[in-house]
Amino acid sequence: MATKGGGSFFGKVGSFEEGYEFDAVVLDDSRLESSRQMSVKDRLERMIYLADEREVKAKYVRGNKII
């Protein structure tokens, strides 16, 4: 549902193009130390299992920062 095709059901969502709604969560995983280089996939997986609200740095709904 995060693409234009799936998002079209909900309106102007599913793209970073101008005119589309923007919802996002900004995460910072620097608090979660690691002794090795990690891919983006590995970092996201680590966030899923180990992160809490301290890793959330911002939230955007319809392009407006709410946190």
CATH value at residue 58: 2.30.40.10
Whole-number pLDDT of residue 2: 60
Number of domains in the chain: 1
Q: What is the pLDDT of residue 29?
A: 94
Give residue 10's pLDDT.
Answer: 82
Q: Is residue 16 part of a domain?
A: no
Residue 1 lies in a domain: no
In a domain, 53, yes or no: yes
Which regions of the chain are under pLDDT 50? Answer: none
Whether residue 59 contacts residue 66, with contact meaning beta carbons closer than 8 Å, is answered with yes
Question: 54 with 26: CB under 8 angstroms?
Answer: no
Contacts of 3 (CB under 8 A, 6+ apart): 14, 15
